[in-house]
Amino acid sequence: MMQNKKPISDFFVPGARAHLVGIGGVSMCPLAEVLRDKGLVIQGSDVSDSDTVKHLRSLGIPVAVGHNADNLGDCDLVIRTAAVHDGNPEIAGAIARGIPVYERAQAWGAIMQHYPNALCVSGTHGKTTTSSMCTHIFMAAEADPTVMIGGTLPLLHSGYRVGQGDTIILESCEYCNSFLSFFPTVAVVLNVEADHLDFFKDLEDIKASFRRFVELVPSGGHVIINADNAGARDVAQGLNAFTFGLEPGAECTAVNLREDTGRPVFDIHVRGSFYAHAELRVYGRHNVSNALAAASAAYVLGIPGEAVEKGLGAFTGAGRRFEYKGTFNGAEIYDDYAHHPDELHALLTTAKGLGYRRLIVAFQPHTYSRTAKLFDRFVEELKLPDVVVLAEIYAAREQNTLGISSADLSRQVPGSVYCSTLEKTAEAIRRLARPGDLILTVGAGDIYRAAEKLLFLEEK
């Protein structure tokens, strides 16, 4: 990879032509729109057609399907996702022509430098939900934030917004050390666990990356750490971090925690004093922790407790985070993005406590490397539901050099059903669905389409 002679910010001027490789991605699409709003001429490419690609085209942004060096045209710079490597024909073509190539995270990093408050939410899991909660709170406080999250938030009708306030809220991913290109003034660390082991060597390597991330916070900024998570505590060792958690000793904690029709209700105390009352509209202990993280960020940035109450009370979940999809044959269908064993555990233990007759889970593992390296953990969690349907592994950025399949998981999960295609997955769910069941489609790939196929049949 060549060394770029100029910082990416030098190209953020009206009329500059940027080509985005992987433009349909969850953080590339909003980046395309934000840069377009700055006056840049945007074009891009993606591996397949999608609703996101169609949306971009509706805005007048040309998007090529498939990667080819000819797609570059006369662009001034190229921005790529972390999943696009140097062997990609467009990246190779740009390098050959001397067109500078930048990472998506570098673009977001340059954008956030214009904000006094850059609130960056990191962690192995929970980032989208917590970033969404923060967005609700800061919107309730009329702070007019700029936002970039990795999912669709009903409040925004998208995954981003461009505000005029002094705060930017960004979901901050560790994969390929992307968040090390950011400039956080407030860095939230929800948890640090073993994941993305196709890039990181091991958990210690991941912790080192998160440590470098929190060290980016300048003097006068804030590092916010989940005191309940051992990995997060290790990352913050020796730092003057603000802590949140459910266990005793955290600076921001939940008091008088109870459930009302399954949803958490509690008071938020900071350093022993009442700050806000929370009545969540999402389920699970993990969401209490996420709410405390969002409240901590609001507290250190001077947001009043009333806005925390209003924001959390209005939050009904982000897209693909326990998202209600509809009813089929008397069974309620929800969809969730969980793709790590810890996320699965939080989701499934919460779902089992909701009082449904049976919990049926259609799970699509995400990437061959994650499935292989966390295989035993996945098997353990997939024993929790009453019935498991296993869709084939979603490849994402990988080739199956490991020779692994969801069929391998199925052999270890008693009573599970393996399906080689989404069509077969939808058919298996159709046969299983009964009144009183809770059906979850789970995974970071396209498993949600299986539910959509069923609901289409229900409507006919």
pLDDT tens profile 410-438: 999 999 999 999 999 999 999 999 999 99
pLDDT at 1: 46
Largest CA distance in the chain: 63
Three-state secondary-structure class, residue 176: helix
Instruction: Report strand pairing: 222-226 vs 242-244.
Output: parallel
Q: What single-letter DSSP state applies at residue 8?
A: G
> Is pLDDT of 241 > 70?
yes
Contact 387, 439 (CB under 8 A): no
Q: What residue has token string 């940027």?
A: 18
pLDDT at 27: 81
The proportion of the chain whose per-residue pLDDT surpasses 70, expressed as a percent, equals: 98
In single-letter form, the type of residue at position 106 comes to Q
Name the fold adopted by 8-103: Rossmann fold (3.40.50)
- For 316, how many CA atoms within 13 A lie in the half-sphere containing its CB? 6
Task: Report pLDDT digits (tens) over 338-396.
Answer: 999 999 999 999 999 999 999 999 999 999 999 999 999 999 999 999 999 999 999 98
pLDDT at 386: 97
Instruction: Report strand pairing: 331-336 vs 437-442.
Output: parallel
What residue spans in the chain does CATH classification 3.90.190.20 cover? 323-459
Task: Count CB-CB contacts under 10 A for residue 41.
Answer: 17
- The residues with which 324 forms a beta bridge, in sequence order, are 334
Domain spanning 115-314, CATH architecture: 3-Layer(aba) Sandwich (3.40)
Q: What residue has token string 């994969």?
A: 175
Q: Which of 147, 150, 144, 149 is closest to 164 using CA atoms?
A: 144
What order do you get walking across the sheet with 77-80 strand by strand? 63-65, 41-46, 17-21, 77-80, 101-103
pLDDT at 85: 87
Token couple for 346: 């939080």
What residue spans in the chain does CATH classification 3.40.50.720 cover? 8-103
Q: What residue has token string 């660390």?
A: 189
Give the Cα separation of 241 and 226 in Å (integer).
10
CATH superfamily membership of 323-459: Mur ligase, C-terminal domain (3.90.190.20)
Q: Which of 194, 234, 125 is closest to 377 using CA atoms?
A: 194
pLDDT at 456: 72
CA distances from 459 to 426, 429, 438, 454 (A): 15, 16, 19, 9
What residue spans in the chain does CATH classification 3.40.1190.10 cover? 115-314
